[in-house]
Amino acid sequence: MARNKFDIDENLESPFDIRHFRRALVYIKKQKKPMILAFVLSALSAGIALSAPLILQHVVDVTIPDKDVYSLVGWSALMLATIVVSVILATIRSRIMTTVGQDIIFDIRTDLFKHLQELPFKYYDDRPQGKILIRVVNYVNSVSDVLSNGIINFILEIVNLIFIAIFMFAVDVRLSFVILAGLPVFLGVMLLIKTRQRRAWQAVSNKSSNLNAYLQESISGIGVTQIFSREQRNEGIFTRLASNFRLEWMRALRYNALIPFTVDNLATIVTTMIYLVGLLALSPKDVTFGVILAMGSYAARFWQPILNLSNLYNSFINAVAYLERIFETLDEPVTVSDVPEAKELPSIRGNVTFDNVTFAYDPGVNILENLSFDVKPGESIALVGPTGAGKTTVVNLISRFYNLTGGSILIDGHDISQVKLKSLRSQMGIMLQDSFIFSGTILDNIRYGRLDATEEEIIAAAKTVCADEFIREFEQGYLTEVNERGSKLSQGQRQLISFARTLLADPRVLILDEATSSIDAKTERLLQQGLNELLKGRTSFIIAHRLSTIKNCDRIMFVSDKGIAECGSHDELMAQRGLYYRLYSAQKMEAQV
């Protein structure tokens, strides 16, 4: 199924089972000590609160009939004290669990982010960014309370039920069975809706993910939207997605609301039955009015934990839908990673060899087949050819952003699949057409790939790529703050900053993928002067739309038909009057027009 669209639901590849919950317990165990303290405080608070009905029974049956005013004041003060102490303990416990919940959020979110950084390009090729972001932010927020307060409250409510049952049976056995009579009905309702409720929240998760994906896409492309006046059409799409989310949300809430509705009505019926049985079926000799009042209070208290448990169950069902997504992301295989016996790649000279390389993004659809060539250290190689022929694929494979389908790639005789990724990529400089600028200063953006670089080295790199002049025109110079994606900068300025960032890393292999496409001809000529010096002694692979910029490369490879159709210098290929000749001639004619 195509998962890279905002309007297609994501099917879970592995259904939730008890193993997911056991994995969630790993995060809970890290907070074991504060959770135990919170449980003890909760138990004390609940135990103290349970003494209130016994005080009420004694006051009604003994203190008031005896007209003992002093005792009444004392018992009232004790009742107030139980309330105050119970509230104080509950408040302390609440503060502890708030911290625990945030710590659990931090741990899960950190693990997710770490894993996402290790996933290969293909994972991001197949999914909208919005469907990834919602898992790291919204879904983690949704499960944190269940994994912290939910566990404590679940145990506490069970203990509460046990304590209340003990108190009830100690006061009156017959009326206790009246209170318990509603349990079979409650359990039947729970079993009836369990599966439907879980599926309903899975549907909510899907629609929420779709809505978030389209929102993220729309914000990223807002400029294109306004250029083509697509606001009304996009609003219609958003309204449809939001409506789908609303419908699924309301359907899920109906299942959620059914449980407290059942509990509330059962509690009311049971409490009414206590008064009917106590006052009409039993004689005053068998049961006093104080006992009936106490049992009525215990009935409300007995069904309150059941109501709380049902709410916890609702929260758990909701969280299950999100936990499934979270663990599905954490289980996504890191297909491009260090092999068990991977070795450090030593300092390289830049000899790159493709040995019968075959590659396919999708099984059975090869982009490259049995591609072989050898590049000597310091050679400059230009890759040209029609769109989609595989030029960018070739340079992506050199950096091992994807695993090969067949064959091997060697650098200085080392198979890149057998070396550590960090040692490989740290010796490469890659400059893409889409120059990504991070929020922060221009200085930080250039330093991004080499954190130990001095300010002098950063400025030197900027001067080499002709970026220093326009940077100094800003009021804050290199300390100028730029927004995410560099919205305050022109496309050419973003590319020059990205160029400086790449060159600062002092790579042995330099990859330029349409790196000068957004730079004007004058700036490009100045930039070329610095690059000519920089490329000396470095192996470089250059993909350029303007063929005039790669005329001086040592070799030009025309990529076509899943391989290299032509290879040679500019003069050699022009003399052959083949594919490159026709492409160059056509482009030259367009420029003249």
Q: Report pLDDT for 2.
A: 40
- CB neighbours (10 Å) of residue 195? 9
Residue where one domain finishes, among candidates 276, 306, 330? 330
Same domain, 259 and 397: no
> Residue 418 carries which DSSP code?
G
Distance CA 178, CA 20 (A): 39
User: 535-566: per-residue pLDDT in tens?
Assistant: 777 899 988 777 777 888 899 999 998 999 99
Instruction: Flag residues of the chain having pLDDT under 50.
Output: 1-3, 13-14
pLDDT at 1: 34
**Local structure of 541: helix, strand or coil:** strand
Tell me what pLDDT residue 187 has: 79
CA distances from residue 474 to 75, 369, 470 in whole angstroms, order as listed:
76, 49, 7
- Please check whether residues 345 and 317 belong to one and the same domain: no
Q: Do 312 and 368 reside in the same domain of the chain?
A: no
Mapped onto helix, strand or coil, the DSSP state of residue 441 is strand
Asked, for residue 581, whether it belongs to a domain, the answer is yes
Q: Are residue 99 and residue 77 in the same domain, yes or no?
A: yes
Residues 279 and 388 in one domain: no
Residue 397, token pair as written in the block: 């494979």
CATH number at residue 410: 3.40.50.300
**Structural domain span for residue 277:** 18-330
- Give the pLDDT confidence score for residue 346 in this predicted structure: 93
pLDDT of residue 7: 63
How many domains does one find in the chain? 2
Q: Please report which helix (H) or strand (E) contains residue 326, including its range.
A: helix 289-330
Strand-strand pairing, 555-560 and 563-568: antiparallel
Domain presence at residue 439:
no
Judge if 413 and 313 occupy the same domain. Answer: no
How much of the chain is in helix, strand and coil states, percent to nearest 5?
Answer: 65, 10, 25
The reply to whether 1 falls in a domain is no
- The answer as to whether 417 is a domain residue is yes
Q: Is residue 523 part of a domain?
A: no
Same domain, 352 and 324: no
pLDDT digits (tens, 9 = 90+) for 452-462: 889 999 998 88
pLDDT at 13 (0 to 100): 47
Q: Residue 104, SS3?
A: helix
Q: Can you give the pTM of this predicted structure? A: 0.66
Q: Which of 299, 330, 361 is the last residue in one of the domains?
A: 330
Q: Which of 300, 330, 360 is the last residue of a domain?
A: 330
d(CA 445, CA 438): 6
Say yes or no: 359 and 240 in one domain.
Answer: no
Nearest alpha carbon to residue 449 among 398, 399, 505: 505
Q: What is the pLDDT of residue 45?
A: 81
